[in-house]
Structure 1
Amino acid sequence: MLRSLAVILIPLLVIIWVFTRTPDEPQVDPVDWRPAVADARSGAGYPVLAPVEVPTDWKPVKARYVDRGGQWVGSTQAAGNRWELGFRSGDDIYMAVNQSDEPGKDAYIGSVTRSSHPDGTSTIDGQTWQRRVSQDGRTRSLVRAVGGSTAVVVADTGYPALESFAQTLRTS
């Protein structure tokens, strides 16, 4: 009886182990973000923010630009010229810069910042950014107008790290 039970239980335990374990680190392949910056800067019609340099332990994980009316995420259509660049820091924190010149500025900000609300201001390199925080307090954002577009810098971290990232951003 014990052998019969072992014949059933051992494969069952192996199957449970295989299908319930989680990988230690998700595999995220880096993307080449510089061509996307060039595309955005040539087509956007507004000054595109991007870092000149990033720390060596940061991994670029998202870089995309689409013209107004083009296909954005999934099957949505971009309401404006839209730019997004995201990095995963060495501390596994996702930080991104997003820009668009779409007409519904408040809807755009809400979609990028997880329906955040104002939380003060920060001055970075002489520019005033509006601080925003999501309803659950997890996501912090910095928002300002940049040459006819709305720029949003967003991360799941505190404002000091977010402000440091924003300091790396330039329009050329």
Structure 2
Amino acid sequence: MRRFTQGFYGYAVALFVCLAAAALFLLITPQSREEHIPRLDYSITVANFGHAVPYQVWAPAKDPAGWVPNSNKIAKGQNGAQVLYLGYATTKRQHAMFVQSDEKPPAEFASRMANSDKAVGTEQINGQPWERRFREDKNQRTLVRALPDVTLVVTGTADWPELAELAASLQQRPKG
């Protein structure tokens, strides 16, 4: 018995027992081969945001098909302004986020959300012009629409058609 607790053979037996235990654990532990992205309902966050701000809130009328809403929050922006964030995993599993606030000045808010202050063009979405911004080093595309009472930003690593799809889904919610 003493030869299994000392020297090379003892080391080899201990190593074999540990590897066998690890292999057994991996064999009996359930494993999922499917991607799982947590789906988070943002309806209460949007309702709470609507009660906290003095303007009508924008939100998707319906989530784009195949998209998974996976994050949402209300945060304080500059000068105490409220900021609503709704995040998604797109059909192509890229990131897209809708952000809105009445933070002043609107151009600074949009630049902070886009990580860029350089416009690269405009795009018509539902008959309304949205400013395009692109930050190459972060692969971040952004659509910005500045309204009199609120600034809307759709941003992320998603491609332009996916961001436009999210922007097209936005509708003003009734105040109440």
Same fold (TM over 0.5): yes
Residue 31 of structure 1: how far off its partner (Å):
1.7
Determine the C-alpha separation between the residues in 1 that align with 2:93 and 2:70.
12
Q: Structure 1's 56 and 164: CA in aligned 2 closer, same or farther, altered over 3 A?
A: closer
Residue 5 of structure 1: how far off its partner (Å):
4.7
Residue 59 of structure 1: how far off its partner (Å):
1.6
Moved more, 40-49 or 115-124: 40-49
Structure-1 residue corresponding to 2:163: 162
- Quick check: 1:44–1:82 contact (8 Å CA) kept in 2? no
Structure-1 residue corresponding to 2:134: 133
Amino acid at match of 2:40: V
Determine the C-alpha separation between the residues in 2 that align with 1:147 and 1:48.
13
Residue 106 of structure 1: how far off its partner (Å):
3.5
The structure 1 residue matched to 2:72, chosen from 26, 38, 63, is: 63
* Cα-Cα RMSD: 3.0
Q: Structure 1's 116 and 26: CA in aligned 2 closer, same or farther, altered over 3 A?
A: farther
Identity, % of aligned pairs?
Answer: 26
- Quick check: 2:85–2:98 contact (8 Å CA) kept in 1? yes
- Quick check: 2:64–2:166 contact (8 Å CA) kept in 1? no
Name the TM-score, length of structure 1 as normaliser.
0.74
Determine the C-alpha separation between the residues in 2 that align with 1:109 and 1:117.
11
What is the 5 A alignment of 1:20-169?
28-66=37-75, 72=76, 79-115=80-116, 117-136=118-137, 138-169=139-170
Residue 2 of structure 1: how far off its partner (Å):
5.5
Name the TM-score, length of structure 2 as normaliser.
0.73
Q: Secondary structure at the match of 2:137?
A: coil
| Greater helix share, structure number | 2
Larger radius of gyration: 2
Determine the C-alpha separation between the residues in 1 that align with 2:80 and 2:148.
17
- Quick check: 2:116–2:133 contact (8 Å CA) kept in 1? no
Q: Structure 1's 156 and 78: CA in aligned 2 closer, same or farther, altered over 3 A?
A: farther
Q: Structure 1's 78 and 84: CA in aligned 2 closer, same or farther, altered over 3 A?
A: farther
Structure 1 residue runs of 4 or more that deviate by more than 4 Å after TM superposition: 8-12, 23-28
- Structure 2, unpaired ranges of 5+: 1-7, 27-31
Report how many aligned residue pairs link the two structures. 157
Q: Structure 1's 56 and 159: CA in aligned 2 closer, same or farther, altered over 3 A?
A: closer
- Structure 1, unpaired ranges of 5+: 67-71
Q: Secondary structure at the match of 1:42?
A: helix
